[in-house]
Structure 1
């Protein structure tokens, strides 16, 4: 009989008997199910944090005899998204035999390589450093989690005493030690010295719980975490105000976002001095409570405690000393301050590395801050991609929760810097980093695509996203926009309604881009429309809308985008989607062709002006992109067919036959042209025109 979800106040009870029963007696499937629902609640464990396992009886493929196998989350995985391919399956008897060859703390790292000799499932993920911690505990199902509430106790000065009293001796305490083989032996020892316990608290680190079945293990974990959470809640504000009370007042929500959007490109540029970074901003109430408090100056420099936290956030954040209501319309007033603060942080981090490095430590990594706190406004985080930046932010919120809890019940204690360094620059951690997949060409870049909800624009956005970019698309059609944005995950794509003829729309869309991703690197002016009429039928309204959308729109978007690119000071790309009609004189096309010619020459002018800023401006000229292109819907196609004396359905073949290559052009061909300019191979090319038209001799530029 399942426990009612109302039983738990501070964690989500997500076990579904029907789903679990459908898995039958498949213990590995139940392990995955338990892992996924545990990982779905960030109060239970953070992204990529913790580990879960189960032990089963399998048939040895060589001896055909039954043997015990442990299934455990592999290195670098995340329990919330764990699949069978992310597990390592290892022989238990071989894992236990490793005790016979262990040579002591000095030789910890050599044990990891020996895990490979214990593999049962040949499709296993690389076993993690936590493997022996689970193997040496004689339970069928084990959870190793990083709940904020448990770590708050584990990272407090009186953590051991609190653990013993709160759980009536049912949770043992093992002092802080870096994860590894020796810590596994200490867990084994703690269990033997405390028979009948239901879990072990790791000082400064996390929690181990277990059970005979997957469900019992799940319930045990929830009960322990819920009890720890309630204990913290009962003590908030009891000894002293939370974080020593409020020191400053936040500006209102709208002002916070305005301030963040104004300063973020400058922060991103400075944070990208070593390698380009993608950003994330949050003004979560938990963040504001911390950064506006009297204890900020005391706690922020101490750094985080749990290894999973500081591996993603660095040991400490950069705290800005800028009034929350500072006038940022003239950013020059604080530009030198920001540059100096980043310089100081890099010097601090370099000194931290020099003071604690070992003879065989990996080379120093990027010395820029990952987490930047602006009291009264919010928190910025920077990393190689949006997901990593967002997760770093979530981890620092976890750290805030830990500090809040620890200070409420005792006193927060961070890891000694040498211990922190030894984990951050652990050779095994370095090996994990080296195993990471190679980054895609546009990883770390943010693309802003106008007219991106369909046709050519969507194809461009898709190609850039497929090459690793974050994409922000704009369009004037809400239904199309919603549908297009829905094709991306939250860390890849976003969008906003925008009319390119309205500067307020443009500024709002760029602001949303900055708040979502931190800035912009690639601007693609693709929004457009087409009107095909002879001059005597071209109205002033026709002329004006073509000039407004194609020419003014490209100008306005480029102008707004350039201010962001210059603030970042990392260069960038503007790619303008023009047309073969910009170069070739065709019938019944005076309004459209003139506007397209203006787009092309504006691109040349901007290329000449923006080159010193390392901002490249190039043009892709499509022709006759009919299938999937929005401009061919309705009157335009009819107008072009009439101009050439053919039927609308004959247009694709007609255009293909007039090209040198006799090719029909697709939206993907145009997207490929854009990628050619921004993918990195043409990084020293600007002011160019790339015709993607199958070869139209009259459109040859030279």
Structure 2
């Protein structure tokens, strides 16, 4: 069979070299997870039942390997699986007290563990355990969920597959659903029908096979058939377009303009990071006649709304509307959404429900422009976006073949505020100090700037690298992506002396992450000459890059931070030379002094906006620094009557601590200012020079 709507990735040569069924199950799982049309990141589950030797009795026993709680089949390894005694798992039916006591069964799964290195078994464990098949795939393909979420989904499934795919009405995942799946298979067998799979109402798809390959192909064939059927029925998606999108550049400009405002609203309880997409599927939906009807209905699949909240916020804005007063216009819109979420919580909550979570929207739709998502970090925001695209695909398909139905609000609430989900949230590690914050660092292609950006990324921030040296910038970007992942970093060319260049850089930050919280003015040059040897061109270059550059970048950053309305930090990397008067240093020293005083002036202005401005004064940071290029090292060596090679030791010996200063030392000082411990400090300077008495502030 040829596949048009799914990807056939099985490599027989590679599979033939896998000599055990667990590793073959992992191979199949990874292939299925690699195609997002089959399941979302972290969604679905796969399993295999094997015979293994009981380490206590030496007897052969049936064991089920299954993806563990919180894993992703696309990246699944043995370490992410749970392996359980199958007989013990099935024996739990004897102590099952019914659907009202569903949650107590999860703790009992641990009594069934076979492999002591097992990951915690997921809530899907009994769904696989009670089915009699060796290899099982439970996925959330858009095409199948579209049928599962259609008003006539059961009849469509029966007609499309001629009874070979069973149907089980919506039930929350757990022990009861596992028993229902078994009953579905048994009922079909009594009718003389051998099922190829089961459709779960509003949820997803189960398929299986006696070998890993048979299960894989069966899964693809069923999903392909669903997708073909839907495409044959699609005529005018979502009732057709009633609005035209702006062009690509216009959409990006608009997104950059409004993203900081949206981020500010969504960060009313904790700092959020944004993601923007103008994917064609999103535009088709948000520009359509059916948007107003379908968007409030919410999503159907539990995996979707756990990531996206029950429904999105649709902005009441035209694509070309004047945004000068947009914050005032959207204030009641966001308040209405929050009140609606509070009403949903109050109406549906149980006596033991967890406290209400953040009432702000996760998904925000701007007709004609695109979709914004906001979450605790970039990865979560991006995944929320991907999940809502899945939800759009489901609505598109369901509307084409019948009409879309979402889960009842109470069912959705019971999933969202499930005590087991809450326990999973409570087990998550404490966020790092800079989680949810975005930092733009100038001159971060190398040296001090790179060290600052790296420190911030290590502490959980999203970083926007910027530099005038494109080659150095790209090299650093690749290094950061390799170390921290693609979601943690963006890179933009930036000439700090050019207002247009600064505007482009902050626009890039707004589109990539929704805004900026920390601006580090680090870009600089150095020229060491006596006043008699100093040229006017050199003087202007120093003041352009150091002083005017700090002014231009700060001004652009302040404008963005004020749009967000959640405060922020500006850190200026100045110098010991701003304080100390030494030889051969009139241009650089006076420019650094101007930077220092400009910092104090900004601090005095920006306190009311909760924007802190602080200064770090390094000295003699030689490692990986462009500051030593262009004759600076030679100039300083000449001033001190030593050779260039002797400079590091000379600088160390003249300090009170007798220490060489490294870029990482400056990065640590910057982190101290923005870590949260000094949120009530502004207008301060921190010397990182090993102790130079002449640089003490008096």
- In structure 2, C-alpha distance between the alignment counterparts of 1:18 and 1:471, rounded to whole Å: 42
Which structure 1 segments of 5+ residues have no match? none
Q: What is aligned with 1:155?
A: 149
- In structure 2, C-alpha distance between the alignment counterparts of 1:200 and 1:603, rounded to whole Å: 65
Q: What is aligned with 1:649?
A: 645
Q: Which residues in structure 2 correspond to 1:516-555 (within 5 Å)?
A: 516-555=512-551
Q: Which residues in structure 2 correspond to 1:233-244 (within 5 Å)?
A: 233-237=231-235, 241-244=236-239
The answer to whether the 8 A contact 2:41-2:72 is kept is: yes
- Is 1:509 matched with 2:505? yes
Q: How many residues align?
A: 690
- In structure 2, C-alpha distance between the alignment counterparts of 1:634 and 1:542, rounded to whole Å: 11
* SS at structure 1 position matched to 2:341: helix
* SS at structure 1 position matched to 2:486: coil
- In structure 2, C-alpha distance between the alignment counterparts of 1:541 and 1:613, rounded to whole Å: 37
- In structure 1, C-alpha distance between the alignment counterparts of 2:135 and 2:465, rounded to whole Å: 46
Q: What is aligned with 1:164?
A: 158
Q: What is aligned with 1:287?
A: 282
| Mean CA deviation greater in 76-85 or 561-570 | 76-85
Deviation at 1:536, TM superposition (A): 1.5
* SS at structure 2 position matched to 1:496: strand
Deviation at 1:533, TM superposition (A): 1.1
Cα RMSD (Å)? 1.0
- In structure 1, C-alpha distance between the alignment counterparts of 2:570 and 2:56, rounded to whole Å: 61
Q: Which residues in structure 2 correspond to 1:319-358 (within 5 Å)?
A: 319-328=314-323, 330=324, 332=325, 334-358=326-350
Q: What is aligned with 1:270?
A: 265
Q: What is aligned with 2:51?
A: 57
Of residues 651, 660, 663, the one that matches 1:664 is: 660
Q: What is aligned with 1:694?
A: 690
The answer to whether the 8 A contact 1:456-1:670 is kept is: yes
Residues 156-212 of structure 1 deviation map (CA, whole Å, 9 limit, x = unaligned): 011111111111211111111111100000000111112321111000000001112
- In structure 2, C-alpha distance between the alignment counterparts of 1:452 and 1:123, rounded to whole Å: 42
Deviation at 1:641, TM superposition (A): 1.4
Of residues 112, 129, 139, the one that matches 1:135 is: 129
- In structure 2, C-alpha distance between the alignment counterparts of 1:211 and 1:638, rounded to whole Å: 74
- Is 1:204 matched with 2:205? no
Deviation at 1:270, TM superposition (A): 0.6
* SS at structure 2 position matched to 1:690: strand
Q: What is aligned with 1:179?
A: 173
Q: What is aligned with 1:103?
A: 97
- Is 1:190 matched with 2:188? no
Residues 561-609 of structure 1 deviation map (CA, whole Å, 9 limit, x = unaligned): 0011111111110011111111111111111111111111111111111
The answer to whether the 8 A contact 1:247-1:294 is kept is: yes
Residues 324-368 of structure 1 deviation map (CA, whole Å, 9 limit, x = unaligned): 11122x2x2x32220000000000000000111111111110001
- In structure 2, C-alpha distance between the alignment counterparts of 1:596 and 1:443, rounded to whole Å: 32
Q: What is aligned with 1:482?
A: 474
Q: What is aligned with 1:558?
A: 554
Deviation at 1:638, TM superposition (A): 1.6
Q: What is aligned with 1:86?
A: 80
Q: What is aligned with 1:309?
A: 304
Deviation at 1:82, TM superposition (A): 1.9
Rate the CA distance shift 1:20–1:687 in 2: closer, same or farther, 3 A.
same
- In structure 1, C-alpha distance between the alignment counterparts of 2:295 and 2:416, rounded to whole Å: 18
The answer to whether the 8 A contact 1:628-1:666 is kept is: no
Q: What is aligned with 2:608?
A: 612
Deviation at 1:633, TM superposition (A): 3.0
- Is 1:373 matched with 2:373? no
Residues 14-52 of structure 1 deviation map (CA, whole Å, 9 limit, x = unaligned): 222333233x22222222222222111111101111111
The answer to whether the 8 A contact 1:656-1:664 is kept is: yes
| Mean CA deviation greater in 175-184 or 36-45 | 36-45
The answer to whether the 8 A contact 2:49-2:63 is kept is: yes
Q: What is aligned with 2:621?
A: 625
Of residues 194, 211, 214, the one that matches 1:213 is: 211
- In structure 2, C-alpha distance between the alignment counterparts of 1:651 and 1:29, rounded to whole Å: 58
Residues 481-503 of structure 1 deviation map (CA, whole Å, 9 limit, x = unaligned): 11111122211001111100011
- Is 1:573 matched with 2:569? yes
Deviation at 1:146, TM superposition (A): 0.2
- In structure 1, C-alpha distance between the alignment counterparts of 2:23 and 2:632, rounded to whole Å: 56
Q: What is aligned with 1:224?
A: 222
* SS at structure 2 position matched to 1:474: strand
Q: What is aligned with 2:425?
A: 433
Q: Which residues in structure 2 correspond to 1:364-403 (within 5 Å)?
A: 364-403=356-395
Residues 616-650 of structure 1 deviation map (CA, whole Å, 9 limit, x = unaligned): 11111111111122212341112111211111111
- Is 1:33 matched with 2:31? no
TM value normalised by structure 2: 0.98
Deviation at 1:297, TM superposition (A): 0.6
- In structure 2, C-alpha distance between the alignment counterparts of 1:347 and 1:652, rounded to whole Å: 61
| Mean CA deviation greater in 254-263 or 379-388 | 254-263
Deviation at 1:88, TM superposition (A): 1.1
- In structure 2, C-alpha distance between the alignment counterparts of 1:379 and 1:537, rounded to whole Å: 57
Deviation at 1:79, TM superposition (A): 1.3
Deviation at 1:458, TM superposition (A): 0.7
* SS at structure 2 position matched to 1:529: coil
Deviation at 1:475, TM superposition (A): 0.5
- In structure 1, C-alpha distance between the alignment counterparts of 2:198 and 2:477, rounded to whole Å: 45
- Is 1:494 matched with 2:486? no
Of residues 40, 43, 46, the one that matches 2:37 is: 43
* SS at structure 2 position matched to 1:69: strand
- Is 1:456 matched with 2:448? yes
Residues 398-419 of structure 1 deviation map (CA, whole Å, 9 limit, x = unaligned): 0000000000000101001110
* SS at structure 1 position matched to 2:520: strand
TM value normalised by structure 1: 0.97
Residues 348-397 of structure 1 deviation map (CA, whole Å, 9 limit, x = unaligned): 00000011111111111000111111111111111000000010011110
Q: What is aligned with 1:300?
A: 295
| Mean CA deviation greater in 684-693 or 51-60 | 51-60
| Mean CA deviation greater in 623-632 or 182-191 | 623-632
- In structure 2, C-alpha distance between the alignment counterparts of 1:544 and 1:67, rounded to whole Å: 81
Of residues 394, 416, 438, the one that matches 1:446 is: 438
Which structure 2 segments of 5+ residues have no match? none
The answer to whether the 8 A contact 2:527-2:630 is kept is: no
- In structure 2, C-alpha distance between the alignment counterparts of 1:657 and 1:352, rounded to whole Å: 67
